[in-house]
A = this chain, B = another copy of it.
Amino acid sequence: MTETAAETAGGRRSDRTRAAILTAARERFAADGYERATIRAIAADATIDPAMVMRYFGNKEKLFAAAAEFDLRLPDLSALPREELGAALTSHFLDRWEGDESLKALLRASVTNEVAADRMRELFAAQLGPMIAKLSASTASAASSATAGGANTVDAASSVDVATRAGLVATQALGFALCRYVLALPPVANLSREEAVAWLGPTITRYLTGTPSTGTRQANTS
């Protein structure tokens, strides 16, 4: 995919141009969504010619795919006590949301663009899922000797499968991002970082660990 041109000095400017396009594209996609973000407007933001965008990225979909490519950069939470898992992950999500416009662009676009929706699905299945599985494995290693003769399932920490837990985390994380950054619901947008962590933390903890009912009682869910 890298440039085959062997020009030593010429290749550097094209990289700068390419980066400028991507930055402008992320901002436009984040602010306007996929269809309302036009190549013309992106080019104008990057102060280049619209035709250059086509030359560099081929078409609009490939430009979006390049602009929305990113990593959740999930931290390793294996060492934390169970009660702090949600707060730590929530805090990390807040950092990622506010430091990088890619996620906002992806969220806005994924509502109407199928490519973006695919990437969003992959994000939680391929990145959050394994992190939860790793979490369960480290917890299970201590408990496995006690439960001994149980099923040979990988995650003994909870009967709820990893994908479901990742999906539940997604509902709260994406819902918060939607209300705070996209819809800008005043009470949600005005929450301080500490308040947000305090509210979402216990919820995310419960979903991460696969605990259906709240602390006090083991409820039957009929």
Chain A contact residues, CB within 8 Å of chain B:
32-33, 35-36, 107-108, 110-112, 117, 120-121, 124-125, 161, 163-164, 166-168, 170-176, 178-180, 182-188, 191, 194-195, 197-200, 202-203, 205-207, 212-216, 219, 221-222
Contacts and interface: CB of A to CB of B under 8 A. Distances in A.
B36 A112 contact: yes
A219 to B, nearest CB: 8
A112 B117 contact: no
Given A112-B35, A124-B185, A214-B215, A172 B170 contact: no
Contacts of A188: 167-168, 170-171
17 contacts: A32-B112, A35-B36, A107-B111, A108-B112, A110-B182, A121-B185, A125-B186, A161-B187, A163-B186, A163-B187, A167-B185, A167-B187, A168-B187, A171-B180, A172-B172, A178-B178, A215-B215
A81 to B, nearest CB: 13
B187 A202 contact: no
A212 B200 CA distance: 9
A36 B187 CA distance: 30
B183 A212 contact: no
A128 to B, nearest CB: 11
A183 B185 CA distance: 21
A178 to B, nearest CB: 6
A186 to B, nearest CB: 7
Contact of A186 (B33, B121, B175): B121
Contact of A174 (B112, B163, B178): B178
A222 to B, nearest CB: 7
Nearest to A37: B112
Q: Most B CB atoms within 10 A — which of A120, A168, A216? A: A168
Contacts of A161: 187
A186 B129 CA distance: 13
A180 to B, nearest CB: 8
Contacts of A33: 35, 111-112
A122 to B, nearest CB: 10
A164 B185 contact: no
